[in-house]
Structure 1
Amino acid sequence: MIYNNEQINIKITYANNFYKRFKGLMLKKDFDDGLLFTNLKDSSIHTFFMRFEIDVYFLNEKKYIFEKTSLKPWKFYKPKKQAKYILETRKNKLKLKIGDRLDFI
């Protein structure tokens, strides 16, 4: 992943179909990398059946972060506007902020 022209070594798993988006991180025992949701019809997310806290980054079509939240298990969140991409990581895994631009390689 590229963050503001700096490479960050993190394995990104793509949730780019219905099944992968539906399953997400539910029931996983551990998670150290990133999960990128694409082909979204809705940007709302939940942490039902999850075992750990996550950071969630909402990106626009140019891959700029426009909203960020942290969620504990069994929570629901809907961003203020529709996202093109959603990146989920373990809480405090990355130090990204609103306005940062990402690219995935």
Structure 2
Amino acid sequence: MILVNKSTGSVIADQVEVAESFARRLRGLMGRGSFPEGSALVLEPCRQVHTFFMRFPIDVIFVNGRGAVLHVMTDVPPRRISPYVRGAQKVVELPAGTLIATDLGKDHILQLIEREG
């Protein structure tokens, strides 16, 4: 899947994993050695995340059911807990620096697109 910012037309990530089961959301990025540029992990449903047992900082986007960005967090280090974001349906975790590099912000609209082929 590909994650696109519909507000700007830019591709945010071209290697997107979606975690919809409880076990997959719970595991998330814990224990991974790296999180390559262009990657994203979408947690659904989700309103709050933590970075315990992670080895690298991440950027975090909280999104409502329409894909509108409600809250963003940049460069969240390991061993932190995010706020509970009311109205969020999904959380997108990205490599640290992605939000600044793509100029993504609150009220932008995100869309997941299936890869062709």
Same fold at TM > 0.5: yes
CA RMSD of aligned residues (A): 1.5
Aligned pair 1:34/2:40, yes or no?
Answer: yes
| Distance in 1 separating the partners of 2:85 and 2:25 | 20
* 1:52 and 2:56 aligned: yes
Q: What TM-score comes out, normalization by structure 2 length?
A: 0.81
TM-score by length of 1: 0.89
Name structure 1 gaps, 5 residues minimum: none
Match of 1:6 in 2: 9
Paired positions, count: 103
Residues 23-49 of structure 1 deviation map (CA, whole Å, 9 limit, x = unaligned):
000000011200001133xx1210000
Q: Residue 103 of structure 1: CA displacement?
A: 0.4
Runs of 5+ consecutive residues of structure 2 not aligned to the other structure: none
Question: Does the residue aligned with 1:45 lie in a helix, a strand or coil?
Answer: coil
State how far apart, in whole Å, the 1-side matches of 2:32 and 2:71 are: 25
Of 60, 79, 84, which residue of structure 1 is paired with 2:84? 79
Residues 53-104 of structure 1, C-alpha deviations (whole Å, 9 max, x = no match): 1110000110010101131000011234141111000111243111110100
Supply the distance in 1 between the matched residues of 2:10 and 2:71 (Cα, whole angstroms). Answer: 21
Cα deviation for residue 52 of structure 1 reads 0.6
Letter in 2 for 1:53: P
